[in-house]
Amino acid sequence: MRTTIGIGLLGAGTVGGTLLRRLVGDHEAILAKTGLDLQVRRVAVRDPAKARSFELPAELLTTDPRAVVEDPGVDLVVEVMGGREPAGELVAAALAAGKPVVTANKELIADRGAELIELAAERGVPLLFEAAVGGGIPIIRPLSETLAGEQIRRVAGIVNGTTNFVLTRMTEEGAELSEALAEAQRLGYAEADPTADVDGHDAAAKAAILASLAFGVWVPGDRVDREGIGDLDRIDVVYAAKLGYVVKLLAIAERVGEVVSARVHPAMVPVDHPLASIRGATNAIFIEGPSIDELLFAGPGAGGEPTASAVLGDVIDAARETLAGAQVAPRIRFGEGSLVDPGSVETKWYVRLDVEDRPGVLAQVAGAFGDADVSIEAVWQEGTGEDAVLLIVTHRAPERAQRAAVAALEALEVVRRVGATIRVQSDGP
């Protein structure tokens, strides 16, 4: 019985290099445990002469990624080069050639996932991407297999390790955002250009994938309502703690009536909620449903080791399916559906106002909220004298109404400045 699978890698950076070490160094252990003889046949790299953390014969390295896809000795393609292109073209070519593909590329899956999943289904081969969302956290397979029959209501959580590390430092050590981000870069949690993390692009791509799998309606990455942490002020992290909250960047996908909502934004999470205790670069994802109530998946969400572990798990799964010789059906089928208008999603808001400290100010502020049909849950005042700071938490109201209230506040003469607006997580994760 055939047990050998030829592996071709597109990329050998942090994740690819770690995966290669595992495939080569743990070859006998994998063979003993799974019966699979996983043989590295070709690896695409930018610079074959570069010093690397793994040892491979020079003839296995190539600068032409197409050569990996077209190599007749490669039975399974692993894409860990990142980016939309040429990764998308190469993955499509591999699938079209009837070769299974494993990828950790959340940007690609969020952008072209529906198309590539359909192509994989047409060819009857696996397209697996467990590492694209939670790094080392198994979340794709539970959503698409174990919980395929569950009427999931919501998937929400912390899916970006860089921003969670930054927010942890701001919360626990009083660091400014720039200081915490610089530390994340020194420790290797953040890239030299951290824009994708700080502005929420990374989390939005993951939210799109989670929403698509949870609800069976494909959600493109560019349709996720996105807000990052770039404008977050340390003082609001301090005020959040005084009010009993911790600030986290959340990715939320939920069914709202007959439509689907997917969004990413900073949120004030109650200190007694499990997500509030998720520290450092750790990720955590909640799934809510009528039968399961709440499930929590947590663990390392970034880095070469945990991500490579998830990729290796997919490689083993895809290899088994390939050797079985049967046509592989897609794990999730995507039907028709629509996305909610972000302005209609109901949320609670925290609003920080710098105001004149004189009689009648609170009445004018309350009037601005009332005119927008937003009711106030609580108000706190910080400081006295000529100016004061008002901290306001609203009741749930449509985003459109909350924004209208803020616009009205900005027009008030007694309001010096709207210092911050942050959603408040009020129910569910």
| DSSP string of 161-183, one letter each residue | HHHHHHHHHHHHH---HHHHHHH
Looking at 99, 106, 206, 248, which residue is catalytic?
Answer: 206
Which residues, listed in sequence order, are joined to residue 299 by a DSSP beta bridge? 283
How far, rounded to the nearest angstrom, does the alpha carbon of residue 234 sit from its chain's CA centroid? 23
Residues β-bridged to residue 247: 268
Closest CA relative to residue 75, chosen from 1, 2, 4: 4
Examine the residue annotation and report whether 50 is marked as an active-site residue of this protein: no
Cβ atoms < 10 Å from Cβ of 267: 26
- Lookup result for tokens 């969400």: 301
pLDDT at residue 311 is higher than 90: yes
Q: What ranges do the domains of the chain cover? A: 4-135+304-324, 140-299, 342-424
| Sign for the pseudo-dihedral over CA of 190, 191, 193, 196 | negative
Class of domain 140-299: alpha beta
> How far, in Å, CA of 79 to CA of 75, rounded?
13
* pLDDT attached to residue 429: 43
342-424: which CATH topology? Alpha-Beta Plaits (3.30.70)
Locate 341 and state its tokens: 């208008």
The whole-number pLDDT of residue 164 equals 96
Q: 422 and 349 in contact (C-beta within 8 Å)?
A: yes
- Once rounded to an integer, what is the mean pLDDT over residues 114-119? 93
- 4-135+304-324 placed in CATH 3.40.50.720: yes
**What stretch of H or E contains 103?**
strand 101-103
Give the C-alpha separation, 272 to 110, whole Å. 32
List pLDDT tens digits, range 328-364: 766 777 776 788 889 999 999 999 999 998 889 999 9
Confidence grade of residue 389 (pLDDT, cut at 50, 70, 90): very high
Is the whole-model pTM more than 0.85? yes
The DSSP bridge partners found for residue 248 are 267
Give the single-character DSSP code of 189.
S
Residue 233: per-residue pLDDT? 96
Average pLDDT on 383-401 reads: 90
Instruction: Give pLDDT, residue 302.
Output: 66
Cβ(322)–Cβ(100) under 8 Å?
A: yes
Interatomic CA distance for residues 133 and 207, integer angstroms: 8
